[in-house]
A and B are shown apart, each in its own frame.
Chain A
Amino acid sequence: MAKNHHPTPMLDELENGPWPSFISGIKNLRDRHPDDRIQGMSNDLLGQLEHSYETRKGYWKGGTVSVFGYGSGIIPRFSEVGHAFPSSKEFHTVRVQPPAGNFYTTDILRQLADSWEKYGSGLVTFHGQTGNAMFIGVDTDNTQAFFDEINEYGFDLGGAGPCVRTGMSCVGAARCEQSCANEQRIHRTLLNRFTDDVHRPSLPYKFKFKVSGCPNDCVNAIERSDFAVIGTWRDEMKIDQDKVREFIQEKGRAEVIDNVTTRCPTGCMTLHDDDTLEVEDKDCVRCMHCLNVMHTALSPGDERGVTILLGGKRTLKIGDLMGTVIVPFMKLDTDEDYAQLTELAENIIDFWAENGLEHERCGEMIERIGLMNFLKELGIPADPNMVNHPRQSSYVRLDGFDEAAEEQLRRRMEQREQAAAGQ
C-alpha cells in the first residue's frame, strides 16, 4: 500500500459477514479509483467515519450551499474535524428527483455515474427516505458543475428545507394489478406544479406528496406524507367465481375462511356452500386484504379514483401523525379532474403557508386549529368518512349548527338529484 491510509479497525469489522458491505465499496474507491481526488476523499471519509465509530459522535455540520437560481436541493456538510480529514472536509449531498416510480435504464444510471465520478465522491444512494436519488459527497466548487451536467440531460434537484419536497410513487399501474390510479401522472402533475416551491424554500416547513396506487400503500404515503394520494374504487369489487373455486381446490376451504372472510375488517364476505364468494360491497372499506390473498380471483372495481389524506409526518414536534381523510373519493379521469386535484393542493399549501407557524407541518397546524376549522377555511364540506366517530365531548360552541345542518341537507339533496339525472 503506497499511500498512507487512515487505519479503520472498527470499520473493517463491517467488511465481514455475507451482506454486501458499503465499507468495502468505499475502500474500493480509495484503492482502485483512477482519480486521486476520489481516492483522497474516500480515505478521509473513512477516517472521519472511523473517528465517529470510536467516539460515538457525528462530525458533520450544515451550512449554506446552493446552485445558481435555487435555494434548495443541496444538503451542505462541512466537517468539524476537517483539519484531520481535509479531502472530505466539504462533503455535500445533491438531492436529485428520480423519475416517478423510480424507473431507470442501465444507460441512464451509467450516465449519472459518469457525471458523478467527474465531480463527486462516487457514492450514491437510490433513494433516501424522502425519495431523492442522493449523490453523497461533493465539495462546494463542484456542486454547480455536477448539477449543470445532469440538469442538461433531464434531472432536476429535489427539495431540502422548508419547501415542497421530492415526491414518491409506487410501481403502480406499470406492473401491479392492484393499482387503481395513474401514479405516474398524479406524481408528476402535483410535483411539477410546485417546482418553484421545491427549489425556493418559502413555506413554514417541509411538504411531501406521496402516491400509492392502492390502499396497500407501498410508499407509506399515509404515514409519512403531508398529502397522500391513495388509489381506490367505488363500484363493486370484481369476483371471478371460477378462480375462487380454483383457489379453494388448491388451498382448501379453511384457507378462505381463516385467512380471507374472517380477516375482513367489516365482515362483509360470505363463502357459500357451493364455494362461491359473496361480498357486500356497501360494507367493504377497500382494505385490500382479500385482494392480496386471492389476487387471481378478486380485483378492484372499474370506477376508480383516489382518496386523499392530509397531515402525515414523523415525530418532531408534537409526535407522529398519520394523514387523515380530506377527500374520501375523487375521480381522476379527465384533465378537469387533474386540475381539481392540483387546485386542492394549491389551496391547502396556500392556507398553510399563510397560517402555519415556523417549523410547523401541515398536520400539526390542523391539530392546532382543529380539522373543523380547517375545513371551514378551505370550504371543504365535512364528511363522516373523515372521522372514526363523531365528537364525544359536549364542550364545543354549537350556535352555528342549524345553518351547517341545513347546508349539508341541501348538498345531500343536490347530490341525489345529480345522481338521479346522471342515471
Chain B
Amino acid sequence: MAQAQEMRSPIESGCPDGFQYMHPVMRRNFGMWDHHDHPAPGVLYHESETGEGIWTVRAGTQRILDVFTLRTLCDIGDQYGDGYVRFTTRSNIEYMVDSEAKVEPLVKALEDAGFVVGGTQNSVTMISHTQGWLHCDIPGTDASGVVKAMMDELIDEFRNTNMPNRVHMTTSCCQINCGGQGDIAINVQHTKPPKINHDLVANVCERPSVVARCPVAAIRPAVVNGKPSLEVDEQKCMCCGACFPPCPPMQINDAEHTKLSIWVGGNHSNARGKPTFQKLVASGIPNNPPRWPEATAIVKRILRTYQEDGRDWERINDWIERIGWPEFFNKTGLPFTRYHVDNWRGSRNSLNASAHIRQ
C-alpha cells in the first residue's frame, strides 16, 4: 500500500462547464436566438433577438484525428476563425465566427487543407460510426475504413444539399449496433453460430453469465473432451454474437460468414411522425476490405432512388411510408425475401392486418 499512498487522488470534477469554451456571442445570446439562415452548404447563420449574429462553418474530417490534424484544425480556427469550435453529434467540426467576412476565407482554408465543408441541411452528413478493427474488442469489420471508403463516394452529397431532407447514416461493426439508428445503416450481420474453443472456455468465461446473455437461450453448460465448457444449440442460435464479448473463445467473427446488412428508415426526430427504428432492406453483402464496394453500391442506389422520388421534407422513412414498402423494393431493385419478415418479439405489429394494398 505504500505505493498507493503516493498516488494522486482524482479531482472528481465530472462534466466541465461548456460556457467557458463558448464563443462570446453565443454566451451573450444564450437562450435568445430568434431565427437562422442557411447561406450556403456547410454554412449557418443564427441571429439573436438582440440583433447580434453568428456564422458557423461545418466541416467533415477523418474523425480519427492524429495530433497533427487536430493542430491543423486549431491553426485554421485561430487564423481564419475566432478560436471557438464545437463538434456535432456526427463528429463534424464547427467553427463559429462573429462576422460574415470571415466565412469565405475560413471555408477556403478548410477545403485547401483537405477538409470538406458541408454536412448541413439536406445533405448526406458524416456517417456516425464505431471503433471497428482499429480499437474494438469484438468487431466484425472496420468502422473508420468503411466510412472513409463510403464518404469518398458520397462527398458530393456531403458538400451539397440535394436530398429531399437530411440523411443521417450510421455503421456498426457488430450486431449490438453502437452506431445507432440511421436513415441508412450499414451493420455487421453474422450468419453462422460461434466457433467454440473448448480448451479455453472454462478458464476464460464465467459460464452462467454467458448462458444468461443469450437472447434465445441457445447456450447451455456442457462437458466437452472432459473439460467444462459451453455448447450452442445451433438450431436455436440466430448468430447475434452476444456471447462473444463475455466469452472470447466463442468466436463469432468469420472471414467469410460475417456479412453486412443494410437498414433504412431510422429517424430520431419527432418531426412529423414519432421517432422510428431502421428496417432491414439488404443483406448477405460481403465484408470486403479495404473499400467495401458492394455495400457502397447499394447505399448509392438507395440514395439515388430517394433523391429522385422523395418529396421535400420527407426523410427516408417518410418517403417509404408514402410510397409503400413494395414500391421501395421495386424502385431500388432490391429483393424482398422471407427474411425481411420480422419474427422477433412484438413482430406481429409489423404485419399488414388489413386490405390496404397499393394494387
**Does A174 contact B18, Cβ atoms closer than 8 Å?**
yes
Task: Say yes or no: is B301 at the interface (Cβ < 8 Å to chain A).
Answer: no
Contact with B along A262-302 (1 / 0, CB 8 A): 01010000000000000000000011110011011001000
Other-chain contact of A60, B63, B89, B135, B152 (Cβ < 8 Å):
B135
Q: A11-B290, A151-B11 are in contact. Are A359 and B213 (CB under 8 A)?
A: yes
Other-chain contact of A103, B84, B115, B240 (Cβ < 8 Å):
B84
Task: Say yes or no: is B61 at the interface (Cβ < 8 Å to chain A).
Answer: yes
Shortest C-beta distance, B139 to chain A (Å), equals 4
Shortest C-beta distance, A270 to chain B (Å), equals 18
Task: Say yes or no: is A423 at the interface (Cβ < 8 Å to chain B).
Answer: no
**Does B289 contact A53, Cβ atoms closer than 8 Å?**
yes
Task: Say yes or no: is B96 at the interface (Cβ < 8 Å to chain A).
Answer: yes
Other-chain contact of A295, B36, B91, B138, B313 (Cβ < 8 Å):
B36
Task: Say yes or no: is A20 at the interface (Cβ < 8 Å to chain B).
Answer: yes
Task: Say yes or no: is A218 at the interface (Cβ < 8 Å to chain B).
Answer: yes
Q: List the one stretch of A124-132, A369-377, A409-417 in contact with chain B.
A: A124-132
Task: Say yes or no: is A105 at the interface (Cβ < 8 Å to chain B).
Answer: yes
Task: Say yes or no: is A331 at the interface (Cβ < 8 Å to chain B).
Answer: no
**Does B313 contact A199, Cβ atoms closer than 8 Å?**
no
Chain B contact surface mostly: loop
Shortest C-beta distance, A324 to chain B (Å), equals 11
How many angstroms between the C-alpha atoms of A338 and B74 in the bound complex? 36
**Does B180 contact A224, Cβ atoms closer than 8 Å?**
yes
Shortest C-beta distance, A205 to chain B (Å), equals 11
**Does A67 contact B272, Cβ atoms closer than 8 Å?**
no
**Does B10 contact A68, Cβ atoms closer than 8 Å?**
yes
Chain B 264-309 interface residues, beta-carbon cutoff 8 Å to A: 266, 268-273, 275, 277, 287, 289-291
**Does A29 contact B66, Cβ atoms closer than 8 Å?**
yes
Q: List the one stretch of A313-321, A347-355, A400-408 in contact with chain B.
A: A313-321
How many angstroms between the C-alpha atoms of A287 and B270 in the bound complex? 5
Task: Say yes or no: is A17 at the interface (Cβ < 8 Å to chain B).
Answer: yes
Shortest C-beta distance, B344 to chain A (Å), equals 5
Other-chain contact of B64, A99, A125, A314, A320 (Cβ < 8 Å):
A125
Q: Which of B15, B71, B242, B289 has the most chain A CB atoms inside 10 A of its CB?
A: B15
Residues of B within 8 A of A122 (CB): 66-68
Residues of A within 8 A of B88 (CB): 102, 171
Task: Say yes or no: is B85 at the interface (Cβ < 8 Å to chain A).
Answer: yes
Q: In chain A, what residue has the closest Cβ to B312?
A: A259
Contact with B along A311-345 (1 / 0, CB 8 A): 00011111110100000000000000000000000
Contact with B along A151-183 (1 / 0, CB 8 A): 110111100000000111011011111010010
**Does B87 contact A102, Cβ atoms closer than 8 Å?**
yes
Residues of B within 8 A of A59 (CB): 133
Shortest C-beta distance, B32 to chain A (Å), equals 8
How many angstroms between the C-alpha atoms of A393 and B16 in the bound complex? 48
Task: Say yes or no: is B69 at the interface (Cβ < 8 Å to chain A).
Answer: yes
**Does A191 contact B181, Cβ atoms closer than 8 Å?**
no
Task: Say yes or no: is A104 at the interface (Cβ < 8 Å to chain B).
Answer: yes
Task: Say yes or no: is B144 at the interface (Cβ < 8 Å to chain A).
Answer: yes
Chain A 49-92 interface residues, beta-carbon cutoff 8 Å to B: 49, 52-53, 55-62, 67-70, 75, 77, 91
Chain A 20-57 interface residues, beta-carbon cutoff 8 Å to B: 20-26, 28-29, 32-33, 45, 49, 52-53, 55-57
How many angstroms between the C-alpha atoms of A25 and B269 in the bound complex? 34
How many angstroms between the C-alpha atoms of A223 and B277 in the bound complex? 8
**Does B128 contact A188, Cβ atoms closer than 8 Å?**
no
Other-chain contact of A174, B7, B22, B140, B248 (Cβ < 8 Å):
B22
Residues of A within 8 A of B291 (CB): 13-14
Q: In chain A, what residue has the closest Cβ to B170?
A: A129
Q: In chain B, what residue has the closest Cβ to A224?
A: B180
Q: A104-B85, A108-B21, A287-B270 are in contact. Are A223 and B180 (CB under 8 A)?
A: yes
How many angstroms between the C-alpha atoms of A104 and B87 in the bound complex? 8
How many angstroms between the C-alpha atoms of A287 and B91 in the bound complex? 25
Shortest C-beta distance, A18 to chain B (Å), equals 5
Contact with B along A204-223 (1 / 0, CB 8 A): 00000000000111111111
Q: List the one stretch of B100-108, B171-179, B223-231 in contact with chain A.
A: B171-179
How many angstroms between the C-alpha atoms of A171 and B31 in the bound complex? 11
**Does B35 contact A110, Cβ atoms closer than 8 Å?**
no
**Does A106 contact B77, Cβ atoms closer than 8 Å?**
yes
Q: Which of A56, A144, A216 has the most chain B CB atoms inside 10 A of its CB?
A: A56
Contact with A along B237-273 (1 / 0, CB 8 A): 0001010000010000111001000000010111111
Other-chain contact of A25, B65, B83, B180, B215 (Cβ < 8 Å):
B65
Contact with A along B143-178 (1 / 0, CB 8 A): 011001101110100000000000000000001111
How many angstroms between the C-alpha atoms of A184 and B131 in the bound complex? 28
**Does A22 contact B177, Cβ atoms closer than 8 Å?**
no
Q: A22-B62, A58-B253, A103-B22 are in contact. Are A184 and B17 (CB under 8 A)?
A: yes
**Does B34 contact A319, Cβ atoms closer than 8 Å?**
no
**Does A100 contact B148, Cβ atoms closer than 8 Å?**
no
Task: Say yes or no: is A143 at the interface (Cβ < 8 Å to chain B).
Answer: no
Other-chain contact of A77, B20, B137, B142 (Cβ < 8 Å):
B137
**Does B68 contact A28, Cβ atoms closer than 8 Å?**
yes
Other-chain contact of A123, B21, B65, B71, B87 (Cβ < 8 Å):
B65
Residues of A within 8 A of B60 (CB): 19-20
Residues of B within 8 A of A322 (CB): 275, 277
Q: A265-B272, A317-B215 are in contact. Are A177 and B33 (CB under 8 A)?
A: yes
**Does A14 contact B71, Cβ atoms closer than 8 Å?**
no
**Does A318 contact B269, Cβ atoms closer than 8 Å?**
no
**Does B180 contact A32, Cβ atoms closer than 8 Å?**
no
By Cβ-Cβ distance, the 6 closest A-B pairs, closest first, are A17-B152, A215-B270, A52-B133, A25-B66, A68-B7, A22-B64
List 17 additional contacts besides A68-B9, A116-B67, A318-B215; criterion CB under 8 Å.
Answer: A11-B290, A17-B153, A19-B152, A19-B155, A69-B9, A103-B22, A151-B11, A173-B33, A179-B33, A195-B14, A199-B10, A222-B270, A223-B277, A263-B313, A265-B272, A292-B271, A293-B313
* Chain A contacts to B: CB under 8 angstroms: 10-11, 13-14, 16-26, 28-29, 32-33, 45, 49, 52-53, 55-62, 67-70, 75, 77, 91, 93, 97-110, 113, 116-117, 122-129, 136-137, 144, 147-148, 151-152, 154-157, 166-168, 170-171, 173-177, 179, 182, 184, 187-188, 191-192, 195-196, 198-199, 215-224, 230, 258-259, 263, 265, 286-289, 292-293, 295-296, 299, 314-320, 322, 357-359
Give 16 A-B contacts (CB < 8 Å), ordered by A residue.
A19-B155, A21-B148, A49-B133, A68-B10, A97-B14, A97-B16, A100-B15, A105-B83, A110-B74, A122-B66, A137-B135, A151-B10, A152-B11, A174-B22, A215-B270, A295-B35
* Chain B contacts to A: CB under 8 angstroms: 4, 7-22, 26-27, 30-31, 33-36, 46, 54, 56, 60-71, 73-75, 77-78, 83-89, 91, 93, 96, 114-116, 128, 130-142, 144-145, 148-149, 151-153, 155, 175-181, 209, 212-213, 215, 240, 242, 248, 253-255, 258, 266, 268-273, 275, 277, 287, 289-291, 311-313, 344-346
